[in-house]
Amino acid sequence: MKAYLSRRYHFSASHRLNSEAYDAAQNYAVFGKCNNPHGHGHNYTVQVTLSGQVDPTTGMVCNLGDLDAFALTNLIERFDHTNLNTLDCFQNEVSTTENLSIEIHRIFQSFTAAHLERVHIEETSNNSFDYAGDTVPASRTI
């Protein structure tokens, strides 16, 4: 019997959308105010959805304490109150929330107590992003 578990986490981070492939005018044309040289920030909400068999003893897909400890160490402590552009994972990638969702998916794939189904990120009340692990470019490394 497969069941699904979704858990939400929150962190605040700043970033600047800027591509090395573009000059200053092109960056502003593509990214607008999100290309502000001083950056801007968001209060992100990340929802991870996991699946697995319901353990007959605990009645759970996975232990929430284990999941929360994993998220604290690998998500919150890594991203909260940071400038995303300074992180290794964005040295060769634009720090869009699409790319952030791919990175967070990669991180949660190493949580082995349940199968990762998808990552959902709310950047603003109008913008949300989903990544279910379809494909990760070969160039993406940590």
Catalytic residues: 34, 81, 123
Give the three-state DSSP class for 23: coil
DSSP-assigned states of every residue in 38-58: T-EEEEEEEEEEEEEEPPTTT
Percentages of the chain per state (helix, strand, coil), in multiples of 5:
30, 30, 40
